[in-house]
Structure 1
Amino acid sequence: MSGRDTVLGAIRSALADVPGAEASDGDPIPRDPRSHQAGPDVVELFVERAADYRATVVRVPPSDAVAAVGRALARTGAKSLVVPPGFPEDLVAEGAWSRLEDTPPLTVRQLDAADAVLTTVAAAIALTGTVVLDSGPGQGRRALTLLPDQHVCVVRASQIAADVPEALRLLHPRRPLTLISGPSATSDIELDRVEGVHGPRTLDLVVIADD
């Protein structure tokens, strides 16, 4: 007997004493995530939840976006910055760091030596404080956001969905997705938290308000 047969058999057994004429109570399933989960301000909820995961989050108007990127890089003392193909040039901050292009692709050694990477996102999720990357323009291949020690991520307010189902409707179903909630972290058997083992030690989110 397969696992499927076992599960279906258990369901049939549990429903054996339910009268055939019995119907559900007819209560409609809520279909608007914003109305019953995230509240009216999904951007503020995203900022709060992302900060709960130890990301550094700033919410800025478009006029201050590039300066916010520069402040994030200056705070960690970044000396080299990876910029993926397709990243908006008007959001690339100038500073004490050198710029690394991923065309042709940087080697693993070069990425590991880089201090920071700057990307856009495909979407963000308010309820979980998560950013989603799908390797689209401005995001680059997955390795770019795994090896540098700092990830600076630009999120536009219009890209923030209330929850996971709403976010999935914004994403291409056949693109590889990377979901990031806070900087990389793990803990040992003693529950001592260690950051930066599986990815960036520092996650900076620059949330740009809609015009």
Structure 2
Amino acid sequence: MSAREDILDRLRSALRDHPAVPEIPRTYREDSGMSAEERIELLVDRLVDYKAGVTVVDEAGIGALIAELLLDADSYVVPQGIDEVWLAEADATGPGRRRTDTPEAQLSVAELDAVDAVVTGSAVSVAETGTIILDGSPNQGRRAITLVPDHHICVVREQDVAGILPEALRRLDGTRPLTWISGPSATSDIELQRVEGVHGPRNLDVIIVRA
């Protein structure tokens, strides 16, 4: 028996003679009722308010926009499962800049710190809160690659934008490593002075792709 199983077994034993927890009422909103266009408009508004760069494009425009956003990057990292079509123009304009983070050769924190940017996909976004959620899928990679480089370019598909949090949670697997992003990393803990890049990327560019 593992330590986890032992702890859970002792908790079950301790609670065995207690009455069951009453059913929790679920009276909150579970559906926003917003159209796809309304969800995109709200998500853009929230992200801009958080000081993120946001561009809405169709599928054909992803590659050119990523290449433009990477113009000033001497190097960038991508997860193993990234869509290669997204990177074709960036690779053509600056060959040799890309590094792919793979399970067999994961980049160290020091190596990631020397990289200028990271390009990933995303799992789900919440329009109402302006939150992008990554779940470690192949096109998003492990958490470290989105926290250490200074610039995160994140692709969000229209069909993955939920109106409110309950809608988003229904699409997620809670056992996966979830990273929740609401704008670039920033804090105002010291004398209410905003400082960016403290615990994540200083710059966040979001590409919203229309279906």
TM-score scaled by length of structure 1: 0.80
Amino acid of the structure 1 residue aligned with 2:74:
K
Q: Which residue of 1 aligns with 2:135?
A: 134
Q: Which residue of 2 aligns with 1:96?
A: 94
User: Structure 2 vs 1, CA of residues 30 and 128 (structure 1 numbering), >3 Å: closer, same or farther?
Assistant: closer
SS of equivalent to 1:41 = helix
Cα distance in 2 for residues equivalent to 1:96 and 1:73: 9
Q: Is 1:70 paired with 2:71?
A: no
Cα distance in 1 for residues equivalent to 2:84 and 2:49: 30
Match 2:45 to one of 44, 48, 59: 48
User: Structure 2 vs 1, CA of residues 107 and 209 (structure 1 numbering), >3 Å: closer, same or farther?
Assistant: same
RMSD value over aligned CA atoms?
A: 1.8
Q: Given that residues 34 and 40 in structure 1 are in contact (C-alpha distance below 8 angstroms), is that contact kept between their aligned partners in structure 2? A: no
Residues 182-191 or 46-55, more deviating: 182-191
User: Structure 2 vs 1, CA of residues 115 and 31 (structure 1 numbering), >3 Å: closer, same or farther?
Assistant: closer
Q: Given that residues 78 and 96 in structure 1 are in contact (C-alpha distance below 8 angstroms), is that contact kept between their aligned partners in structure 2? A: no
Residues 150-159 or 184-193, more deviating: 184-193
Count of matched residue pairs: 179
Unaligned 5+ segments in structure 1 are: 1-27
Cα distance in 1 for residues equivalent to 2:182 and 2:150: 16
Amino acid of the structure 2 residue aligned with 1:87:
I
SS of equivalent to 1:68 = helix
Amino acid of the structure 1 residue aligned with 2:76:
L
SS of equivalent to 2:82 = coil
User: Structure 2 vs 1, CA of residues 137 and 188 (structure 1 numbering), >3 Å: closer, same or farther?
Assistant: same
Bigger radius of gyration among the two = 1
Unaligned 5+ segments in structure 2 are: 1-26
User: Structure 2 vs 1, CA of residues 31 and 134 (structure 1 numbering), >3 Å: closer, same or farther?
Assistant: closer
Q: Which residue of 2 aligns with 1:33?
A: 32
TM-score scaled by length of structure 2: 0.80
How much has 1:204 moved relative to structure 2? 0.4
